[in-house]
Amino acid sequence: MNSRFTWFNATSLTLGFVFLYLPILLLVIFSFNESRLVTVWAGFSTKWYVELFQDEAFLDAALVTLRVALLSATVATILGTLAAVVMIRAGRFRGRTLFSGMIYAPLVMPEVITGLSLLLLFVAIGIDRGFWTITIAHITFSMCYAAVVVSSRMVTFDTSLEEAATDLGCTPFQSFIKVTLPIMAPAIVSAWLLAFTLSLDDLVIASFTSGPGATTLPMKIYSQVRLGVTPQINALSTILISVVTLGVLTASFLTRRAETKRKADELLAGS
Amino acid sequence: MNISPNKKPSARFAPWEDPAQKPLVRFGNVTKRFGSFTAIDNISLDIYEREFFALLGPSGCGKTTMMRMLAGFEKPSEGTISLGGEDIADIPPYKRPVNMMFQSYALFPHMTVEANIAFGLKQDKWPKQQISERVEEMLSLVQLTKFAKRKPHQLSGGQRQRVALARSLAKKPKLLLLDEPLGALDKKLREKTQFELMDIQEKLGMTFVIVTHDQEEAMTVASRIAVMDDGKLIQVATPEVIYEYPNCRYVADFIGDVNLVEGRISSKTEEMVKLAWAEGQGDIDISNKNGCAAGENACLAIRPEKVHVTREEPQDVDNKIRGVIHDIAYIGNLSTYYVKLGNGQIFRAQESNRRRLANREFTWDDQVWLSWRNTAGVLLQK
């Protein structure tokens, strides 16, 4: 393989990155715009950030979003892990195929349908829509993602580890707590992070299931944009982007460090 | 077994020959079915205290199922299993005084070597002081004291194997089960570890049951071997008896190399059986050690190393056959000669190469004589 940095490579690389990041870059730049007009540059300013943190409606929405995401991610991870354990471990029970098929179905279900059906359910049983209905709805759909993530790790789990724990005196429940869970922890953490992110940026299902009392951040942004894009939204988006970027960088740094450590360990084992 | 080839009168370890001895483990007519598949077919077996007992057989013969029933991971479909006289069928694995060393070692990856060894002791709520003493003792037993703080993935294969052994020994089980314990090690290390295992077993005076498909391993470590096939016990005996006096063709063929000569018993006396095996060839004399009757079809099993190859017609031998050297397998210390007999059968004879290759006596297509004593082989019923 003879790879050189040619003009062709440089051009396609640039085009690709421009395609991906130009919109985001514009958004970030205009969040520091002095002018109220989004597309006209009038000098640098951070006033929209200041204004954003004084806007109670936005802060409320952010708080609701965060609470929904934390709660729903936690419950969804617990339920998803339990579902994964049953699917991988329970062997062939009656209706197993049906069960595992049904747990994955919401992944491919259009969000609009999930949202609509949940709305119908909440109306039918007469719950007041608000914070709790959004949380329940988010648990419903992010649970399947959690189940998928956890079960894909569970498949490669060596069951003789659990047998060894049982052999050394653990009841099956104790061996699950002392051996299975700690080993599964990374998968469970990524399931939680995935569920958290999904809940954070969901618009469609939240719109269907929220009530007058509770508005999430994506809903707030969407409703604001319908009245016209303000630099305030740009500022908010910039904050979100920085948070996400920070998260991704931290995650890759941690992975990288684990990798280096593993290599060092292997060297140690060989000596 | 009715045959014990080298009976030493004094202090030989053979509790299975003493009817007064009580077995530690007793399988009583145990059958295990998985659905319609019978993994274990009506097996009765006694294992005695301080034995190093090997379950030997090809994969799928049921040896692992036997072990998993002892550990408590499987329940027999029929029959009883008792340990020290107590029926253990309904005792779950975590309450049995039995520990197992897993084939994959099953070390807990999130714990240090120390924590792995201490795991079972903590579970049994030993006092802290005693736990650390016991862990220390186990680490020095397997020579891993330096590695106490490492995690399993920071160890080599041989070290992991020793951690697994230490962990399973820590609780002082009445019975230690070893599931293909050396399968993942290379040949040199495996041979060394076999002796270590034997030393440890002797030092601790514990009862070991090992599952293996490696016949050399079983021969080396075991006090007795149970050869299994298809869910049944074929022969249970000491390594010497298994090798020298296999009770059927399956065992003779499974352990080591063997020549099988089909024939019909032409005559039988108190001392000797004559086997007619081919037209125009003399009958083979075999010392009478088996209950075959005259006129029956039978089969002579004779090990290649008990057959001599000579150029001249040997005198003063019990049996001799002429043949032509068809092939020679040179493996350094030994050469195996594949000799074609008059009836076309290939007969294997093994000679140790005491001289260098250049001085080798025979080459391809040489006319040679094969000879052996009439006590060298065993007669097997068809």
Residue of B nearest to A159 (CA): B106
Distance CA A190, CA A192 (A): 5
**Closest to B120 (Cβ–Cβ): which among A163, A168, A182?**
A168
Last residue of a domain, one of B236, B252, B268: B252
Three-class SS of residue A235? helix
In angstroms, what separates the C-alpha of B337 from chain A's closest C-alpha?
Answer: 43
Same domain, B220 and B270: no
DSSP label at B283?
P
pLDDT of res. B359 = 61
pLDDT of res. B305 = 93
- Are A163 and B102 in contact (CB < 8 Å)? yes
What is the four-CA torsion angle of B352, B357, B358, B361, rounded to 10 degrees? 30
pLDDT of B197 > 70? The answer is yes
Task: Give the domain CATH number at B106.
Answer: 3.40.50.300
Same domain, B195 and B267: no
pLDDT of res. A270 = 60
- Are B100 and A166 in contact (CB < 8 Å)? no
Taking the Cβ of residue A103 and every Cβ of chain B, the question of whether any pair is shorter than 8 Å is answered with no
Of A9-13, B271-275, B286-290, the poorest mean pLDDT is in B286-290
**Considering its fold, how many domains does chain B have in total?**
2
- Are A160 and B93 in contact (CB < 8 Å)? no
Taking the Cβ of residue B1 and every Cβ of chain A, the question of whether any pair is shorter than 8 Å is answered with no
In a domain, B215, yes or no: yes
pLDDT of B6 > 80? The answer is no
Taking the Cβ of residue A160 and every Cβ of chain B, the question of whether any pair is shorter than 8 Å is answered with yes
Q: Give the pLDDT confidence of A40-70 residue by residue, as tens digits.
A: 888 888 888 888 888 888 888 989 999 999 9
pLDDT of A266 > 80? The answer is no
Scanning the structure block, which residue is given the tokens 């609509």? Answer: A116
Q: Which pair of structure tokens corresponds to residue B280? A: 């125009």
Task: Give the domain CATH number at B321.
Answer: 2.40.50.140
Same domain, B291 and B244: no
In a domain, B2, yes or no: no
In a domain, B114, yes or no: yes
pLDDT of res. B3 = 43
Same domain, B171 and B315: no
Same domain, B146 and B265: no
Same domain, B90 and B115: yes
- Are B124 and A169 in contact (CB < 8 Å)? yes
Same domain, B197 and B262: no
Q: Supply the mean pLDDT for chain A.
A: 86
**Closest to B120 (Cβ–Cβ): which among A169, A265, A269?**
A169
Tell me the count of A-B CB pairs closer than 8 A.
Answer: 70
Taking the Cβ of residue B155 and every Cβ of chain A, the question of whether any pair is shorter than 8 Å is answered with yes
Same domain, B305 and B334: yes
For residue B110, with 0-12 CB atoms within 10 Å meaning exposed, 13-18 middle and 19 or more buried, which class applies?
middle
Q: Bridge partners of B30?
A: B43
Taking the Cβ of residue B172 and every Cβ of chain A, the question of whether any pair is shorter than 8 Å is answered with no
Q: Give the pLDDT confidence of B298-344 residue by residue, as tens digits.
A: 889 999 999 999 888 898 888 999 999 999 998 888 889 999 998 88
**Closest to A168 (Cβ–Cβ): which among B99, B110, B159?**
B99
Question: What residues make up the domain containing B289?
Answer: 258-381
In a domain, B9, yes or no: no
Q: Give the pLDDT confidence of A240-251 residue by residue, as tens digits.
A: 888 878 877 887
pLDDT of res. A2 = 58
DSSP label at B329?
E
In angstroms, what separates the C-alpha of A169 from chain B's closest C-alpha?
Answer: 4
Same domain, B209 and B310: no
Last residue of a domain, one of B213, B228, B252: B252
Amino acid letter, residue A116: L
pLDDT of res. A157 = 87
Distance CA A199, CA A76 (A): 10
Distance CA B112, CA B100 (A): 19
In a domain, B1, yes or no: no
- Are B153 and A265 in contact (CB < 8 Å)? yes
Kindly indicate the confidence band of residue A206, based on its pLDDT and cuts at 50, 70 and 90.
very high
Domain ranges of chain A: 56-227
Last residue of a domain, one of B252, B279, B296: B252
pLDDT of res. B252 = 92
Give every CB contact of residue B44 below 8 A, 6+ residues apart in sequence: B26, B27, B28, B29, B30, B79
Mean pLDDT of A186-210: 89
Same domain, B206 and B284: no
Same domain, B45 and B154: yes
- Are B108 and A169 in contact (CB < 8 Å)? no
Mean pLDDT of A210-214: 83
Same domain, B237 and B266: no
H-run or E-run covering A55: none
Question: Got the DSSP string for B9-49?
Answer: SSS---GGG-TTPPPSEEEEEEEEEETTEEEEEEEEEEE-T
Instruction: For chain A, give the percent of residues with pLDDT over 90.
Output: 32
Of A92-106, A140-154, B198-212, the poorest mean pLDDT is in A92-106
pLDDT of res. B120 = 95
Mean pLDDT of A81-90: 86
ipTM summary value: 0.82
**Closest to B123 (Cβ–Cβ): which among A163, A169, A182?**
A169
pLDDT of A222 > 50? The answer is yes
Mean pLDDT of A137-157: 90
Q: Which pair of structure tokens corresponds to residue A178? A: 């002392």
Instruction: For chain B, give the percent of residues with pLDDT over 70.
Output: 95
In a domain, B4, yes or no: no
What is the layout of strands, in order, in the sheet containing B207-212? B98-101, B175-179, B207-212, B52-56, B224-229, B232-237
Q: Return the CATH superfamily for domain A56-227.
A: MetI-like (1.10.3720.10)
